[in-house]
Structure 1
Amino acid sequence: MIVAPGGSADSLARILAERLSATLQQTVIVENRPGGGGNVASTYVAQSPGDGYTLLVTANNHTLNPALFRNAGYTLDDLAPVAEMMRGPSLIATSVSSPYQSLGDLLSAARTTPGAVSFGSAGVGTPSHVAGELLAKAAGVRLNHVPYRGSGPSLNDAIGGQLPVVITSLVAAMPHVQSGRMRALAVTSAERWPSAPDVPAAAEFGLPGYAHMTWLGLFAPRGTPGTVLSKLNAEVNAALAAPDVRRRVALLGGDVGQTGTEEFARILAEDHRVNARLVDELGLRVE
């Protein structure tokens, strides 16, 4: 399995590799290939033999990068979907010293003074960036995006008050919320999320159509036989169904995916449609 290092993707890949090594009776190795917002790992797997032995673990940026980058190194057709492994919302949060007591306060300020509110993300094209742009679009406001190199630096600045608002993963932010260093304003799921039941959904603030979820998925090179894809899908879903795996996924801030290959393909197609439109509307492009 090829994956970028750190974060939920790396953690989930290692959880899955442990289970698959036991059920498939062969060693499953997790190899980190960072760079290019996921493009390096995706391109490597896209150029690998379609024999089922080299797989990719990646997130939403997979469907965004071909539209965002002039040369991502791969197209969506170069990789066959195997299974959605996990999905979960982002968290919209701020410092406890912030004047924003709720997401409603933040949106009100953005409406009163257009462009005065900034939000930080883990970087251009990351799920947290997309969640913020879709939030602004749904609310009819302008939010300034401040990209960081990872969620850690953005969280540090938000905690310190240098950044008004941060959008990041639940697993990264909730420890700071629970320790009293940050204030959770909303989750980006359509409804409240089980692991953070006291945090309202953004949709509760007059945004009934708003929702954005981060997913993690497993892919194989194009040309991998359908029988191999089906076998891998069945093995992955069986691993994800195990109670201990479900508990470990919940600790990462998400819920297991457990989709068939065709259902996952439909999710990807819709995700790409939304992302490509957003790239065009905002004029985003990375050389």
Structure 2
Amino acid sequence: MSGTTSPVRRLLVVTAVAAEREAAAAGLASALVPGAVTTDSLADGAPATPFEAAATATGPTPAPHPLALHATVLAGGVGPGAAAATTAAALARAEAAGRPYDLVVSAGIGGGFAPAVPVGSVAVASAIVAADLGAQTPDGFVPVAELGFGTSRHLPPQPLGRTVAEVLAAAYGPVLTVSTVTGSAERAAELADRHPGAVAEAMEGFGVAEAAGAAGLPVLEIRTVSNAVGPRDRAAWRIGEALEALTAAFGKLPGAMGVGTEHG
């Protein structure tokens, strides 16, 4: 998955929960022509429905641009397993209907590695890493790839990822997928040491990337930061702020992807 070779016409965005889905959809709807965004929730069996931007949009809404892009925003469930299963199902369903996707984006809120990636900021993945997939040994953690059992890393298309990060004014670096959210300073330091330059931690990116990779599609991961990776302090979380940042980021995403202005 080194890059995209044709314009993106159909985009699948996979979040974990409905609040993230609505925030990302609101941003996309503010940038695209009416009817270009639908929302879906394969995790609970709900069918795809047209998204109305006014329902959840936060802050000022930019004037729509007639971009030749259709986006589906999916709430796929929490964790890499649910994310992989629902992403794969959505991709298969679209392929069977003759409307395959061109690009998959894992999106939502997550933890940022302080102080470089503070609360309210945006992170774009240079690599999507399964940070706890492997084996614990007397000499430390060994990633599954080093055990000879597959991969623990997917690389988004670098030119596109860098451009998206620049337009979104985002931190650009590895985003870590974990099955257990970090809750201590010691664990945060261990992850930062093992993955130099890591910008964020979340729970679904690697699952989404596995499904996209199996379908031969490029993948991005975009996170907005609700809390610092480290000691678990719910009182310090800023979920509302992170969701607003997610809407703003997805309002800029179509332009960052350089989607053409003709109707497709």
Larger radius of gyration: 1
Give the structure with the larger helix fraction.
Answer: 1
Same fold (TM over 0.5): no
Taking structure 2 as the reference length, what is the TM-score of the superposition? 0.31
Taking structure 1 as the reference length, what is the TM-score of the superposition? 0.29
